[in-house]
Amino acid sequence: MGFENLLLERDGAVGVLTINRPQVLNALNTPTIDELRRAVLDLKHDAGVRAVIVTGAGEKAFVAGADINELAVQRPVEGKEHALRGQHVFDLIENMGKPVIAAINGYALGGGCELAMACTLRVAADTARLGQPEVNLGIIPGYAGTQRLARLVGKGVALDLLLSGRQVTAAEALQVGLVNRVVPAAELMSESKRLASELAAKPPVAVRYIIEAVNRGLEVSFDKAQFLEATLFGLVASTDDMREGTAAFLEKRKADFKGR
Ligand code: COA
């Protein structure tokens, strides 16, 4: 089934998902969020996909936020449902069990910054601008921006960005830990694909459990998080890839992971 507001392509083991509403700087309206949910579930359940890139169509924007036309008319009960729907989809991205790389090709504001933060890693073009400008609209972030930003960059920087609503450059985003890498704009997709292919070649069960241990571990006590880690550490010993990885090291050769 096709999408109206998304493009979904495959490049080997890498799925490339493009938010495709360039006329409104890829703003996320409800149909786009619903399509995103479907696309994310497709990617999650497709065993041939080992890593995913999320980006925005056009030169200017990754995603310039939730669609302000919808926000302008929403009422309280709808507003809550709107936030819950977006939070749910972004949770699916965060917990897809495969590395999801946000290739931030321009403005990543509001819901766009929240989408990028739900991804596993963020690569920004040097021309990108990030921020949570909701306060300037008289609202607050509703797709978990208040939570993921504080977890990513710490409470002090998060409150600065959330309260000022200011845009930060890619360089500042890198400095505060909001993005992982900054590359020249012309190299954004090639670098993101190189990184995605590198991660796609890693043993997928170990990759999935690392993401799970970090995501879930941060939300529970240290003691419980360590117990989760120990359990996943044990589980990963059931994989052929664990035997291959350790044998390859001892035999001084490159590991050939099969994804089992
Ligand atoms: N929702 C709906 N439409 C949006 C949008 C959004 N979040 N962001 C941009 N657009 C639309 C604009 O209304 C404009 O439409 P038009 O051509 O019909 O006038 C089009 O996209 C291009 O945007 P424009 O504002 O003309 O581009 P710009 O280069 O002057 O400014 C931004 C770029 C990103 C700084 C500016 O668009 C902006 O501030 N967007 C809103 C960001 C925001 O507050 N996001 C959080 C929402 S919760």
Q: Is 53 inside a domain boundary?
A: yes
Q: Is 215 inside a domain boundary?
A: yes
Q: Is 17 inside a domain boundary?
A: yes
pLDDT in tens, 30-62: 999 999 999 999 999 999 999 999 999 999 999
Domain limit, last residue, from 164, 183, 200: 200
* Same domain flag for 181 and 54: yes
> In angstroms, what CA-CA distances link 13 with 162, 183, 188?
36, 23, 19
pLDDT in tens, 138-165: 999 999 999 999 999 999 999 999 999 9
192's tokens: 């993101």
Q: Is 1 inside a domain boundary?
A: no
The whole domain housing 221 covers 204-250
pLDDT in tens, 222-239: 999 999 999 999 999 999
Q: For residue 241, how far is its CA from the centre of ligand 1 (angstroms)?
A: 47
Pick from 94, 102, 91: nearest CA to 55: 102
**Does pTM surpass 0.85?**
yes
Q: Tell me the β-bridge partners of 72.
A: none
Number of domains in the chain: 2
Asked whether the beta carbons of 192 and 103 are under 8 A apart, the reply is yes
* Same domain flag for 195 and 218: no
230's tokens: 């120990």
Q: Is 103 inside a domain boundary?
A: yes
Q: For residue 156, how far is its CA from the centre of ligand 1 (angstroms)?
A: 28
Q: Tell me the β-bridge partners of 18.
A: 7, 55
191's tokens: 């670098």
218's tokens: 């941060």
Residues with CB under 6 A from ligand 1: 24-25, 27, 64-69, 107, 109-111, 133-134, 137
Handedness of CA 32, 119, 43, 184 (dihedral sign): positive
* Same domain flag for 110 and 237: no
